Amino acid sequence: GLDALLSTVQMPPGVPVATMGIGKAGAKNGAVLAARILALQDKKLADKLETFKKEMARQVEDKNMKLQQH
């Protein structure tokens, strides 16, 4: 419950926490976070992440256009 959430997000300085959601979305976000960390030392991976972000933005724009048409 709330106690568990607060114990996770209120860590002292020096204890970084990467909290993700649950389910498929949380798993995907965890993978993206891990890839972003690895990409700090891997230019090829960084380029792939940039392409991934641009594709996500394009998909959002497409969905927005469809919503605006209705």
**pLDDT at position 16, please?**
86
pLDDT digits (tens, 9 = 90+) for 5-45: 888 888 888 888 888 888 999 999 999 999 999 999 999 99
Kindly tell me if the per-residue pLDDT of 46 is higher than 90.
yes
Return d(Cα 1, Cα 60) in angstroms, integer.
32
Pick the CATH number of 2-69 from 3.30.2310.20, 1.10.357.10, 3.30.1330.40, 3.40.50.1970: 3.40.50.1970
Angle at 26 between CA 6 and CA 31, to 5 degrees: 115
